[in-house]
Chain A
Amino acid sequence: MSVSMPPSQKPADPPRFLPAGDGAVVVEFGSAVDEALSDRVMAMDARIAEAGIEGVVETVPTYRSLLVVYDPLAIRARQLIPRLAELAANAGEATTVGRRWVIPVCYGGDHGEDLEWVAKVHDMTPEEVIALHSEAIYRVYMIGFTPGFAYLGGLPEILHTPRRETPRTLVPAGSVAIGGQQAAVFSVAAPSGWHMLGRTPVRTFDLKRDDPFLIAPGDRIRFSPVAAAEFAALAARAEAGDIVAWHEEEA
């Protein structure tokens, strides 16, 4: 007789292994944007890195899946998939707890052209939008689109805002923006239909640093409002190579 387990103890379904040509396998944990799925992706990503499987070239973690890029001259899919399945079965929880970043943001005005509009759409004051946006803790689900561009989950539902009908041709680097139910920090200038609430002096991608990428999937982010004068001071320090973001513990 089968006994149904309470939801919290129900073992998760094993991932699906889907072919992506002769050099990649998709390890798919689910099809939704969901914290638990993201935890499993990050745990699996960590296990693959630890396992050091010969022939695995790189992995690309996303909201719900992991693209495992391999060299078919070093390992074949029929050998790789059973090894990945074994790792998935014992992946456990993500052990590497992501870092918690505090990112300073100058909201509104020239730094956030859409703040007033977003406030109006939601029948709020700009200050209320800033408070909601900067009190939330965001999870970095994945990095994509451009080098260092962080896709953030955790935007308060009340701030969910459809994208612009006509995308802007260029949104400046450092833009802190929202689109749909997501939030983001723009690493480099790029076209976008998202709404710019503010700008950070933090460079999430800077080739001048030894590690050019500041934020990794699995990290958490909180935004801290700063005035225009402080933004300018921080921007000057960022220009000189300072990270100007800080860790939550130090905040």
Chain B
Amino acid sequence: MAALLVVDPGPLATLQDLGRVGYQRFGVTVSGALDERALRLANRLAGNEAGEAAIEFTLAGGTYAVEAAACRIAVAGGDFPLSINGRRAGAYASHTLKRGDRLAIGRAQSGTRGYLAVAGGFDLPRVLGSRSTHVRSGLGGMDGQPLKAGSRLPLADAERFDGPDRWLKTSLWPKARDVVRVVLGPQDDLFTEEGKTTFLSSAYRILSQSDRMGYRFEGPPIRHAADYNIVSDGIAPGSVQVIGSGQPIIMLADRQTTGGYAKIATVISADLPVLAQCRPGNAVRFRAVGVEEAEDLRAAMLDGIERLAAAFYRAGSAADDTANLLGVNLIDGIVSPEEAPPR
């Protein structure tokens, strides 16, 4: 069986794709990659559809060995040092490995999450439509659990890939930011004007009690207008719940489907990857945008990834700086669509 052997999974590695869609009404957590942008880029570099399942790792990547005649891999996300058989190799690049090759992914120099994609994907069953691992309910991935040393991840179609390896130069990697954009609501009317101003004008530090379910923050308390409890309703990704003490908790991929804290705002989907790369101790500020702008930014992010995929540097070939630089603007979500180049 063609497989990728997990020699050492690092602190936390799980298989993730774009999540388990369609079962929230039955209490099933969506899960999926915390940094959707990096997952999509890793897959496109490996030559896959953007949403294929990849290994998501946290802070450090671990070590893997190839048990197949050939296997093309790509890593994207934070700034992770890579080595293949002890020799340095680049992130945001595909590498074609052969049987017995060892891939080691070290500690992130910056950023927090990384994604290891393999060409052809992993041959693991979809559970309720997704290969994403949700550890709490034991769904997806390998038996619903984080990867363990000694596990063999079966490769679906390891030896089938086309063309030379590809890479993305460092200046085009998504940039870290400490400003995260939000759409106010759905329960912003349950906060005082002063509370909303506090939320949008203060820095909030990410606490160590943060995980795939949510990030907890510490900063100036956000005042509720009345009760902080609401009768439970649905929780969108990026929901900013404010607990009784006035501190925000941002609900991420492994969030439960419903909850009873008032939600002052929702982080826009184009900025969830920015947040996913922040780590405990980092401070974040929130800025409000409208729904339409947030929708435009989502479209621009996805478009930017596909533009980059179309313009990946071929190893050894000349660079097309213009296309790539326009691409990075889009991918970082900084320019508005009006400033974007014509399609």
The answer to the question of B183 belonging to the interface, with a C-beta cut-off of 8 Å to chain A, is yes
Contact B230 A62 (CB under 8 A): no
Residue B258 at the A interface, CB < 8 A? Answer: yes
Alpha-carbon distance A187/B137, docked complex (angstroms): 10
Interface size range on A against B: 35 or more
A32: which B residues are within 8 A, CB to CB?
231
Known: A21-B268, A69-B236. A148 touches B25 (CB 8 A): no
Question: Is the Cβ of B233 less than 8 Å from the Cβ of A76?
Answer: no
B21 at interface (Cβ–Cβ under 8 A)? yes
Q: What is the CB-to-nearest-CB distance from A211 to chain B, in angstroms, rounded to a whole number? A: 10
Contact flags A112-148 to B (C-beta < 8 A → 1, else 0):
0000000000000000000000000000001111111
Q: Is the Cβ of A23 less than 8 Å from the Cβ of B269?
A: yes
A72 contacts across to B, CB distance below 8 A: 294-295, 298-299
| B231/A21 in contact, CB under 8 A | no
Contacts of B185 in A (CB 8 A): 18-20, 26
Chain B CB within 8 A of A12 CB: no
Query: Is the CB of B28 closer than 8 A to any CB of chain A?
Result: yes
A63 contacts partner chain B, Cβ-Cβ < 8 Å:
yes
Roughly how many angstroms separate A142 CA and B24 CA in the complex, as a whole number? 11
A144 and B294 form a contact (CB under 8 A): no
Supposing A19-B185, A23-B298, A73-B299 touch, asked if A148 and B27 sit within 8 A by C-beta, the answer is yes
CB distance from A46 to the nearest CB of B (A): 12
Residue B22 is within 8 A (CB to CB) of chain A in the complex: yes
A197 within 8 A of B: no
Find out whether the CB atom of B232 lies under 8 angstroms from the CB atom of A63: yes
Give how many B residues have a beta carbon under 8 Å from the other chain's beta carbons. 48
Mask of B9-32 contacts with A, CB within 8 angstroms, 1/0: 000000000000111111111000
Which residues of B (172-197) have their CB < 8 Å from a CB of A? 182-187
A226 adjacent to chain B (CB < 8 Å)? no
Verify if B315 is at the interface (C-beta below 8 Å from A): no
For residue A107, CB closer than 8 A to chain B, the reply is no
Contacts A21-B183, A23-B236, A144-B232 given; does A59 touch B25 at CB 8 Å: yes
Cα separation A5 to B233 with both chains bound (whole Å) = 31
Contact B294–A31 (Cβ < 8 Å): no
B-chain residues with CB within 8 Å of residue A31 when the two chains form the complex: 230-231
Contacts of B256 in A (CB 8 A): 144-145
A67's partner among B26, B128, B182, B234 (CB-CB below 8 A) is B234
> Cα distance A216–B24 when bound, in Å?
12
Contact A187 B21 (CB under 8 A): no
Q: How many Å lie between the Cα of A33 and that of B295 in the bound state?
A: 32
- Indicate whether A28 sits within 8 Å of B295 (C-beta atoms), given known contacts A20-B185, A21-B238: no
B292 contacts A60, CB within 8 Å? Answer: no
Q: Is the CB of B295 within 8 A of A63?
A: no
Contacts of B296-343 to chain A: CB distance below 8 A = 297-299, 302
A59 to B302 alpha-carbon distance, docked (Å): 23
In the complex, what distance in Å separates the CA atom of A145 from the CA atom of B302? 31
Q: How far is the CA of A59 from the CA of B24 in the complex (A)?
A: 8
B270 / chain A contacts, CB cutoff of 8 Å: 22
Any chain B CB within 8 A of the CB of A109? no
Neighbour of B27 across the interface among A23, A145, A207, CB < 8 A: A145
Residue A188 CB within 8 A of the other chain: yes
B267 CB within 8 Å of chain A: yes
CB distance from A74 to the nearest CB of B (A): 11
Inter-chain contact B299/A144, CB cutoff 8 Å: no
Bound-state CA distance A143–B256 (Å) is 11
Q: How far is the CA of A144 from the CA of B182 in the complex (A)?
A: 25
Name which residue of chain A comes closest to B232, CB basis: A62
**Which B residue's beta carbon lies closest to that of A22?**
B294
The interface residues of chain B lying within 8 Å CB-to-CB of A61 are 25
Contact A58 B21 (CB under 8 A): yes
Known contacts A24-B236, A32-B231, A148-B26, A19 near B258 by CB under 8 Å: no
CB-CB under 8 A for A143 and B233, given A73-B302, A77-B295: no
Closest chain A residue to B24 by CB distance?
A60
**Are B230 and A22 interface neighbours, CB within 8 A?**
no
Contacts of B297 in A (CB 8 A): 22
Q: A200 interface residue, CB < 8 Å from B?
A: no
> Hey, which chain A residues are within 8 Å of B266, CB to CB?
19-21, 24
Q: List 23 A-B contacts (CB under 8 A).
A: A19-B186, A19-B291, A21-B237, A21-B268, A26-B233, A26-B234, A28-B233, A31-B230, A60-B234, A63-B232, A64-B231, A67-B236, A69-B24, A73-B302, A142-B232, A145-B27, A145-B256, A145-B257, A146-B27, A147-B27, A147-B28, A147-B29, A188-B138
Residues of A within 8 A of B (CB): 18-24, 26, 28, 31-33, 57-67, 69, 72-73, 76-78, 142-149, 151, 187-188, 205, 207, 212-213, 216-217
Please give 11 more A-B residue pairs, beta carbons under 8 A apart, in addition to A60-B257, A78-B291, A147-B29: A18-B187, A21-B237, A22-B295, A58-B25, A62-B258, A77-B291, A144-B232, A144-B256, A147-B139, A187-B27, A216-B25
